[in-house]
Amino acid sequence: MTIEEAQAQVDHWIKTVGVRYFNELTNMAILTEEVGELARLIARKYGEQSFKDSDKNRDLGDEMADVLWVLICLANQTGVDLTKALEKNFEKKNIRDQDRHKNNDKLK
């Protein structure tokens, strides 16, 4: 699935199953909540925190997909073409960071 297809599928689902988009501020709050759930799982799986019973069956990919879903909702609502935005972001990084990471002693 391309990013463009994902944006279209989320839009279709929202308009047929979800009834309508939550407003942008609500979706921003939901995005923050979903990122927090992802962070909690990563802290338990890869960090020093121990698992709570309620976290043991959570799936890392599903948590990432929740974040992506809400991000796509926000992009759709605000008229952002994520494919074009990502391509532009790569261009920016390729110029700005061309030698930055290669010359970072902390990464060697």
Give tens-digit pLDDT for 69-104: 999 999 999 999 999 999 999 999 998 888 888 888
In angstroms, the CA 88 to CA 11 distance is 23
E strands, the chain, are none
Angle CA(93)–CA(80)–CA(67) in degrees, nearest 5?
A: 80
- In contact, 34 and 62? CB cutoff 8 Å: no
Using CA atoms, how far residue 32 sits from 12, 29, 49, 70, 106, in Å, is: 23, 5, 21, 9, 30
pLDDT in tens, 16-65: 999 999 999 999 999 999 999 999 999 999 999 888 888 888 999 999 99
CATH architecture of 3-81: Orthogonal Bundle (1.10)
Record the pTM.
0.88
User: What six digits make up the tokens of 14?
Assistant: 């929202």
Would you kindly state where each structural domain of the chain is located, as residue ranges?
3-81
